[in-house]
A = this chain, B = another copy of it.
């Protein structure tokens, strides 16, 4: 189909990389045509607050308040509360910034009052002036759990932040609800194109795919992923090691395509990575994929949309 005929686009996203692509997609698409479904498998409770790292990364990035170079958290941040928590002997392995706490406090208070995560997410995004439609994958908790070689089973943040991804991963599984948030299935069903951000399959996209009906809805669609593997390495995070330990193969775009078991119509990979992405029935576009600026994100989003539209 032609780009001009593309009315609705859905993008599944994790944190930093996904958020950068979303910034470009939101610019490249007309208002109201983009719906984002965000992984909440990383959500956890800390200092008595409900923390939703990927939702916040997406929100801060889209609002322009985020720390651009780092990709997560707020640009101008202080850590006064953390300093006091340390004095009290509280948990200090996850550094919540002061401004960031404003978000967690508002979210937690709303959830305790009985508001759904979807509803409070919409309110928070609107508060920061972001009007892109962003849905959490689920309203209830579904936590990504990591079975490790020597340290048993760790909830995602314990493995990712507290243990700095050092324990080798044997298996990843998802504990909790399988019920997608309102609008998740409908937005996929109505989409002309479905995109996956350059997010870790195991801990960012798969949690969304485990929600009831999501995979089935995607199987009927044109689905194009942006490869999180560039030149045999993960752009960010522990993905390369996870592909080795979980798939028993080298980290390549092809390993990602095979992991999704036929779900992908196409993949966008880094220039030169095309030979490492050859899997039957999956079309490949090679281009510059690493996003170092908002302009990069916009250019990449535009190319990805055009490529996906051609495949639709």
Q: Which A positions have Cβ atoms within 8 angstroms of B? A: 47-49, 74, 76-78, 80-85, 87-90, 97-103, 105-106, 108-109, 112, 123-124, 127-128
Residue from B74, B77, B85, B106 in contact with A105 in the complex, judged by beta carbons closer than 8 Å: B85
* Copies in the assembly, this chain: 2
Question: Can you name 13 extra interface pairs (CB under 8 A) apart from A84-B99, A88-B102, A88-B128?
Answer: A47-B105, A47-B106, A48-B105, A48-B108, A48-B109, A80-B97, A80-B99, A81-B98, A81-B105, A84-B106, A85-B106, A90-B102, A101-B105
Residues of B within 8 A of A81 (CB): 81, 98-99, 101-102, 105
Interface of A is mostly: helix
- In the assembled complex, the Cα of A97 lies from the Cα of B74 at a distance in Å of 18
A-B interface, 5 closest residue pairs, ranked by CB to CB distance from nearest: A84-B102, A98-B98, A48-B109, A80-B98, A80-B99
Shortest distance from the beta carbon of A143 to any chain B beta carbon, whole Å: 19
- In the assembled complex, the Cα of A81 lies from the Cα of B82 at a distance in Å of 12
Residue from B80, B90, B103 in contact with A88 in the complex, judged by beta carbons closer than 8 Å: B103
Shortest distance from the beta carbon of A97 to any chain B beta carbon, whole Å: 7
- In the assembled complex, the Cα of A93 lies from the Cα of B109 at a distance in Å of 16
Q: Is the CB of B127 within 8 A of A87?
A: yes
Q: Is the CB of B109 within 8 A of A84?
A: no
Q: Is the CB of B83 within 8 A of A80?
A: no
A82-B102 CB under 8 A given contacts A124-B88, A127-B89, A128-B87: yes
A48-B112 CB under 8 A given contacts A78-B78, A78-B80, A80-B97: yes
Residues of B within 8 A of A74 (CB): 84
Residues of B within 8 A of A102 (CB): 80-85, 87-88, 90
